[in-house]
Amino acid sequence: MKRKKFLLLRFLSVVLACGAVSAAPKPNVILIFADDLGYGDLGCYGAEKIRTPHLDRMAAEGVRFTDFYVAAEVCTPSRAALLTGRYPLRSGMCGNVERVLFPNSKGGLPPGEITIAEALRGSGYATMHIGKWHLGIHEGSRPLDQGFEHSFGLPYSNDMDAKPGLPKGSTSSATPPADGWNVPLMRDGKIIEQPADQTTLTKRYTEEAVKFIGDHKTQPFFLYLAHTFPHVPLFASADFKGKSKAGIYGDTVEELDWSVGQILEALRKENLQENTLVVFTSDNGPWLIMGEQGGSAGPLRDGKGSTWDGGMRVPCLAWMPGRIKPSVSSQLVQAMDWFPTALSMAGVKLPDGVALDGINLSPHLLESLTLPERPYFFYRGPQLFACRIGPWKAHFVTQGGYGSQPKKPHEPPLLYHLGDDPAESKDVAAQHPEVLKKIQQAVQTHQSQMVPGVKQLKSNE
């Protein structure tokens, strides 16, 4: 009922907008989401062995964020938060027994959640999902149920649906068997290839994206391109395999860089660059236990699976030539901000009665205004582990990303000044009790207002 009401309101807004004498064109929005790309894996973030000229140019022409966070340390909850603008706990899309959805999981993104695609589609936008979904395969949770007119990609991670007898260690091998996984490639909910030829995925995703741009150049569009790589197992096309100094991991990242270059060139070709917001980021930090197949968090601590900064602080670039001035931003921004930002730039009202956790970044992006100070909360599954305000980050509980390490509660909490200590190596809690008090008060306020959704992943909390 909530969704139908929201779509009706959006339809009415379109009708009213059509009566305007001279309305400015609605901006297009493209969100490009890499999988397991680390903070240190792009040239513009310090990578030395991986060549990323197109992303480096995008950074030089737009905003490069130094302090950008995703809402979770693993795939499924991070994606749910990006598309809904809400902490995954609100939608039930997090757990600590199941940290992500699996092919046999019964849950998924609840039908009542409103995604960016749904909100923009109700205002006349063409919408498409390309790449990895990982938000559910059941009715109500699939891309076409969640606001996308079209979808092309994998239903979940490329390491799922492993074939029987796959040798141990194949996932992180430098030369994984090309036919070792049975994950399907789907178009609009129907399987078109199984197993998917993973060596072709980045190129095919890119071709679909370029075609979508060309087909919808005369109307506003929203494109969500969620790349399969550099999540293991790693595959690259013949044009890129063996070409990087960083092995197969670098090959896949360099092919992603090529993909971004193709998309930006398509926008320039259609003269859409000044009216298209393009965002490039990653769903979480690098999967360090995969060794050379797992990427780099650069100067940050730990990686995927943890609430240390290496697990949730990732590269992020925003590009819109002529509207967004080239800059490097150290403002604390996060993935849930793109929901209200996209709606604001499109002139779409935020959905009534929905608790959003992001803010509109338009004043910062378009006018270089400073964002208000606000707390950011680091969840691992349904439990809050840490909180950051300004340069200060307090850890109430810590745990390594993967392995057998147990949770370690901290009383008093650990405290780090990330401006001076991005590696989170020097606890300064004893010197700054007033900072800890401020952070703890913010946590109390947040938790008093948090209403968890129905659990979609298995959890013992």
Calpha distance 413→406 (Å, rounded): 17
Torsion, CA 254, CA 77, CA 64, CA 204, rounded to 10: 30
CA distance 42 to 189: 33
Q: Which of 157, 152, 204, 159 is nearest to 181 (CA)?
A: 159
Q: Which helix (H) or strand (E) holds 235?
A: none
Catalytic residues: 75, 134
How big is the chain, counted in residues? 461
> What's the Cα-to-Cα distance from 240 to each of 227, 255, 310, rounded to whole Å?
16, 6, 27
What residue has token string 């679909």?
208
Q: Starting at the edge strand that comes first in sequence, how are the strands of the sheet with 383-389 ordered?
A: 375-380, 383-389, 392-398, 408-417
Q: How many CB atoms lie within 10 A of CB 90?
A: 22
In sign, the C-alpha dihedral spanning 110, 111, 116, 117 is: positive
| CA pair distance 246, 41, nearest whole angstrom | 10
The C-alpha angle with vertex 76 and arms to 316 and 332, in degrees rounded to 5, equals 30
Q: Which residue has the tokens 């991005």?
A: 422
The answer to whether the beta carbons of residues 130 and 107 sit under 8 Å apart is no
What's the CA gap between 126 and 189, in Å, rounded?
A: 18
Instruction: Determine phi and psi for 190, rounding to 5 degrees.
Output: -115, 140
Burial of 196: CB neighbours in 10 Å, binned 0-12, 13-18, 19+: buried
Closest CA to 49 of 60, 62, 38: 38
> What CA–CA distance (Å, rounded) separates 359 from 20?
28
Nearest to 72 by CA among 293, 294, 357: 357
DSSP 313: B
